[in-house]
Structure 1
Amino acid sequence: MPTRPAVDTLTYRERWTVPWWGWVGAVAVCLLLAAEIHLGYSGVRSWLPYVVLVPLAVVSVGALSRITVSVDDDELRVDDAHIPRRFLLAAEALDAEARREALGPELDPVAFVVHRPWVRGTVRVYLDDPDDPTPYWIFSSRRPEKLLAALDLPLPAPEEAA
């Protein structure tokens, strides 16, 4: 009888949903644009923008809400990207000032970045993969402390953080 493969234990998972005001704002902008088109045309062309633009806004905002971050026994996943945990070297949570510096003047051009402005926390994970030129990942997190606890990595050494 074949044995079942071992199932990875999920130790952390979060999903970045767009806040309610993002949904309202996107639909409001599309309604205003559709109303503007409606004023200039009659017949089918007057109501067609409502049918097209409002669902497009909902689908677009829904696509922004699909990103997940998860940690299991074997790997870290951010959206569709994943990396085995054996290549993770160190991790740190970034405050607002450190995030601004890390995403601005200090950003390495080959770093992996997934950032959403409505998610306040940010985490930087340093990598040690000889086959990958990416020095670190920077990504948003709603609960950076819980994510760091799930990763169970040391803080970066001063030379890594500089």
Structure 2
Amino acid sequence: MRLMQNTTQETRESYRERLSPSLWMLVTIALVGPMVSLVFTPVASNIAIAIGAAVSLVLVVLSILLAPVIRVRGTVLHAGRAHIDARWLGEPEHFAGQDARDRRTRDIARDGWYLIRGGIDGLVVVPLTDPDDPVRSWTISSRTPDRLSAAIRAARAAA
């Protein structure tokens, strides 16, 4: 019996990115451990060091594992817990540098949905074409906004 892998357009993942914290944010999170160890120093210094190291490790691992994931799977865009079929997506625009900062601050869409993470410079803005949806656009942080935009375009073409 020969098994074949399902590689149809509906199930193939064309883009995936975890919006994990930046290195500096991970270092900041890890600094909680030494603070916790100071609390336990009066009990026993060896125990305090072990507890501090465990707290740092757990917090860093959890901050990475619980970070939202962006993916384009078949004709569906997933951003964190939200997802939308590509047929309701307009032409995506990607931004970096000052343009991305402006889109996150003074030029932010007031009727939009956002998945914005600090420390990630790139940004993709995707207008929605569904007339029944009160949200007019999705604004998503991305380290590779050009690749995310291309994956959304491909999903739109396949939808």
- What is the Cα-based RMSD across aligned positions, in Å? 2.8
Runs of 4+ more than 4 Å apart:
none
2:12 aligned with 1:9, yes or no? yes
Rounded to whole Å, the distance in 2 between the matches of 1:30 and 1:137 is 34
Q: Report what 1:147 is aligned to.
A: 148
- The structure-2 alpha-carbon separation of the partners of 1:32 and 1:43, relative to structure 1 and needing over 3 Å to count, comes to closer
Deviation digits for residues 95-117 of structure 1 (CA, Å, limit 9, x no counterpart): 22222222212223331111122
Deviation digits for residues 81-130 of structure 1 (CA, Å, limit 9, x no counterpart): 10111110121011222222222122233311111223221110011112
Segments of structure 2 that go 5 or more residues without pairing to the other structure are 1-5, 155-159
Select 2:32's aligned residue among 30, 33, 41: 30
Matched residue SS, 2:90 = strand
TM-score (ref. length: structure 2)? 0.74
Q: Report what 2:157 is aligned to.
A: none
2:77 aligned with 1:76, yes or no? yes
The Cα shift of 1:52 comes to 7.0
Rounded to whole Å, the distance in 2 between the matches of 1:136 and 1:19 is 26
Q: For the Cα contact (< 8 Å) 1:37–1:49, is it kept in 2?
A: no
The Cα shift of 1:138 comes to 0.7
Q: Report what 2:89 is aligned to.
A: 88
Rounded to whole Å, the distance in 2 between the matches of 1:63 and 1:100 is 26
Segments of structure 1 that go 5 or more residues without pairing to the other structure are 154-162
Q: How many residues align?
A: 145
2:48 aligned with 1:57, yes or no? no
TM-score (ref. length: structure 1)? 0.72
